[in-house]
Amino acid sequence: MTDRLRFAAFGGGLVVLFAAALGLGALVGDRTGAAPGHDDSHSTQAGEAMNTGLRTTEAGYTLDELSAPTETNRPGTLSFRITGPDAAPVTAFTTLHEKQLHLIVVRSDTAEYRHVHPRLAADGTWSLDWKWAEPGAYRVFADFSPAAGPGELVLSRTLTVAGTSTPRPLPAPSNTAQVDGYRVTLNGELSTAGSELTFTVTRDGTPVTDLEPYLGAYAHLVALRGSDLAYLHVHPEGEIGATPAGPRVAFHAQAPSAGTYRLYLDFSHGGAVHTAEFAVESSGGAATSGGHDHHEGGHQ
């Protein structure tokens, strides 16, 4: 995904599968960083030239104002449009992993995360049925590629849902995640120098070797930087049928800065999509060995 956080899939028969949504979703960790309401913020980390999905406008394309319910538990519609350099709504998009647009919605403490796919109307309006479960500030990321545009883009805006919201503390860094009866184990350390991360998926102690295709891949990863909600949506390399469908997958990742990151891994198995969530610390130099001995299936 261009230069957003510069995570790259790692080959060699193991293919990225991983985590968060962007993404991804939005943010967590150091809440003294960029405020969720600063829509046109640029990356706040010194020395970074990359765009990390925190802008409303890039390369002449703009994520217009969002319309959504303003209260919790009230059904409604979440809608928006993407406008082009001519200020007209964009109506033609390139399909990316079986969808023309990926929408990642995350609360500012990262406690609420959704990766969804709205419908496109002829007039360029994207929409989907929507209901908020909890109040708070949310960042909404639109990940897309205009048919006549410069390639893949990520734009975002924020929404505030009325009500009293108590931020949940960021989970302590951990190399394991439990979700829906699955255990996902991470081996490796995120580093600004680049490092290999390997994930192993098991269920009831048994290696999962038949991950199901989801959006044209075996898994998708959204990574969010805690200080400013910088976003990355990672797709695996390789092809379904030519790449092992688990239990272990790996990719090479390079963080743009040291700090806390939230990872969301979407994978499909048993006819449902599951999201494994991690909190990790990125070091400012070369990564050390993960130090966790992995046997097939993640048993230690």
Handedness of CA 27, 31, 34, 38 (dihedral sign): positive
Contact 236, 15 (CB under 8 A): yes
Residue 26 pLDDT level (bands cut at 50, 70, 90): very low
State both tokens at 152. 């893949």
Residue 51 pLDDT level (bands cut at 50, 70, 90): low
Residue 111 pLDDT level (bands cut at 50, 70, 90): confident
Residue 83: strand pairing partners: 62, 89
Cβ burial of 265 (10 Å; 0-12, 13-18, 19+) is buried
Q: Give how far Cα 231 sits from Cα of 21, 61, 156, 239, 299, Å.
A: 8, 18, 10, 25, 31
pLDDT surpasses 80 at 265 = yes
Which of 16, 3, 2 has the alpha carbon at shortest distance from 243?
Answer: 16
State both tokens at 98. 């079986």
Backbone angles phi, psi at 295, to 5 degrees: -105, 165
pLDDT surpasses 80 at 2 = no
pTM here is 0.78
pLDDT surpasses 60 at 109 = yes
Question: Quick check: bond before 247 cis, omega within 30?
Answer: yes
> Parallel, antiparallel, or unpaired for β 153-161 and 136-144?
antiparallel
- Highest-pLDDT range among 5-19, 65-79, 164-178, 214-228: 65-79
Q: What pLDDT score was predicted for residue 237?
A: 62
Contact 185, 292 (CB under 8 A): yes
Using CA atoms, how far apart are residues 267 and 174, in angstroms rounded to an integer? 19
Ranking 22-31, 113-122, 199-208 by mean pLDDT, the lowest is: 22-31
